[in-house]
């Protein structure tokens, strides 16, 4: 099988490259805008520059590579940026998917599309795959529109939804719940963490494995891929403090209303992952195991 990954410079994209390059029988093509951040790490991996918002470029690359599977991870995921720059959000999250759907239909390429818990209202959770989308922000609206395009695709497709992905990557500027809490507490900095939102945090390595399992099984339909444990961010922060032996007294539990943010967040989401366990063999690690892995990847000797 030949797998093309979009957004290979991102967190999930990098984990997919690390995973798929080792899989026997898999030809991997990594694609992203700009330079290849993994060029010195995995020089053997084929890389092609691809701007998924450019329909001609999408068509050219898919025509050239003819992948059997395409895992689409590229997206505009900063929720507040999406609220403030809605045209850019729509182009990157919806127009890009329309371009990929067209190209995949022509080659009958299996399209595996990453989506999010932010398509839901946050009134109930955890949620299974039958839950009805009702987004409370523009990012969620764009991802619902993208899902609708994928569901109308005349080639095999799967929608892989996830929740609060954390992990570390090469030359990756964004922080994550584990390193943010650890570094803040080590610096003696008090932090406020919301305790009225519920999520099932997802280790990036686990999500990459779930994507691979879906591709390997030629899975079609909708799958929820996340961690199995439901926490508030405050509860996550306490676990991080405990693991690193840091002062949890610096962490204050607050309501989401404490923060002024352009985009509203759904309060309660989190996923039920029984379908992915049953049909794909998906087995995520615990949050404690995820903390330990991030620690190994980021701690200096």
Read off the pLDDT of residues 83-124 as tens digits, 9 standing for 90 and up.
Answer: 999 999 999 999 999 999 999 999 999 999 999 999 999 999
Interacting residues of 125 by C-beta distance below 8 A, sequence separation 6+ = 117, 198, 230, 268, 269, 270, 271
Long-range contacts of 91-96 (CB under 8 A, 24+ apart): 91/53, 92/52, 92/53, 93/139, 93/142, 93/143, 93/145, 93/146, 94/142, 94/145, 94/146, 94/149, 95/53, 96/52, 96/53, 96/58, 96/72
Residue 92 contacts residue 72 (beta carbons within 8 Å): no
For residue 186, the model assigns a pLDDT of 97
Architecture of domain 2-168+202-226: 3-Layer(aba) Sandwich (3.40)
138-169: per-residue pLDDT in tens?
999 999 999 999 999 999 999 999 999 999 99
> 300 pLDDT band (50/70/90 cuts)?
low
223-281: per-residue pLDDT in tens?
999 999 999 999 999 999 999 999 999 999 999 999 999 999 999 999 999 999 999 99
Q: Where are the domains of the chain?
A: 2-168+202-226
Distances (CA, A) of 73 to 37, 67, 69, 152, 289: 16, 15, 13, 19, 24
For residue 172, the model assigns a pLDDT of 85
For residue 132, the model assigns a pLDDT of 98
Cα gap 93→77, rounded to integer Å: 9
> 174 pLDDT band (50/70/90 cuts)?
confident
| Distance, CA of 243 to chain centre | 25
What is the 3-class SS of the chain, one letter each residue?
CEEEEECCCCHHHHHHHHHHCCCCCCEEEEEECCCCCCCCCCCCCEEEECCCCCHHHHHHHHHHHCCCEEEECCCCCCHHHHHHCHHHHHHHHHHHHHHHHHHHHHHCCEEEEEEEHHHCCCCCCCECCCCCCCCCCHHHHHHHHHHHHHHCCCCCEEEEEECCEECCCCCCCCCCHHHHHHHHHHCCCCEEEECCCEECCEEHHHHHHHHHHHHHCCCCEEEECCCCCCECHHHHHHHHHHHHCCCHHHEEEECHHHCCCCCCCCCECCECCHHHHHHHCCCCCCHHHHHHHHHHHHCCC
Cα gap 165→173, rounded to integer Å: 15
How many other β-carbons are positioned within 10 Å of the β-carbon of residue 245?
7
Cα gap 39→49, rounded to integer Å: 12
pTM listed for this prediction: 0.98
Q: Which of 137, 143, 82, 99 is nearest to 6 (CA)?
A: 99
> 175 pLDDT band (50/70/90 cuts)?
confident
* Averaged confidence pLDDT in the chain: 97
pLDDT at 301 over 60: no
Q: Where is pLDDT greater, at 268 or 175?
A: 268
For residue 157, the model assigns a pLDDT of 99
pLDDT at 137 over 50: yes
37-84: per-residue pLDDT in tens?
999 999 999 999 999 999 999 999 999 999 999 999 999 999 999 999
Q: Where is pLDDT greater, at 299 or 189?
A: 189
Cα gap 67→4, rounded to integer Å: 6
């Amino acid at each position: 099988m030949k797998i093309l990954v979009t957004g290979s410079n991102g967190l999930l994209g990098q984990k997919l490259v690390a995973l798929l390059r080792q899989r026997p029988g898999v030809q991997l093509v990594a694609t992203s805008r700009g330079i290849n951040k993994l060029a010195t790490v995995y020089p053997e991996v084929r890389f092609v520059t691809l701007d998924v918002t450019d329909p001609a470029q999408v068509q050219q690359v898919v025509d050239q590579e003819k992948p059997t599977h395409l895992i689409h991870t590229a997206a505009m995921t900063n929720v507040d940026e999406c609220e403030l720059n809605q045209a850019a959000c729509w182009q990157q999250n919806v127009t890009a998917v329309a371009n990929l759907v067209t190209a995949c239909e022509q080659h009958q390429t299996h399209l595996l599309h990453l989506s999010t818990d932010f398509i839901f209202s946050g009134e109930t959770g955890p949620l299974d795959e039958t839950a009805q989308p009702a987004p409370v922000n523009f990012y969620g609206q764009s991802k619902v529109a993208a899902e609708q395009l994928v569901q109308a695709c005349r080639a095999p497709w799967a929608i892989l939804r996830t929740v609060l992905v954390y992990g570390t990557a090469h030359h990756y500027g964004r922080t994550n719940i584990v390193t943010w809490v650890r570094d803040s507490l080590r610096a003696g900095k008090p932090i406020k963490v919301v305790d009225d939102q519920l999520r099932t945090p997802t280790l990036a390595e686990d999500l990459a494995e779930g994507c691979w399992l879906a591709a390997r099984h030629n899975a079609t339909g909708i799958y929820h891929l996340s961690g199995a444990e439901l926490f508030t961010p405050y509860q996550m922060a306490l676990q991080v403090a405990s693991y690193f032996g840091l002062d949890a007294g610096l962490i204050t539990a607050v309501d989401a209303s404490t923060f002024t943010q352009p985009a509203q967040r759904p309060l309660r989401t989190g996923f039920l992952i029984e379908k992915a366990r049953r049909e794909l063999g998906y087995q995520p690690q615990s949050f404690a195991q995820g903390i330990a892995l991030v620690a190994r990847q980021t701690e200096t000797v």
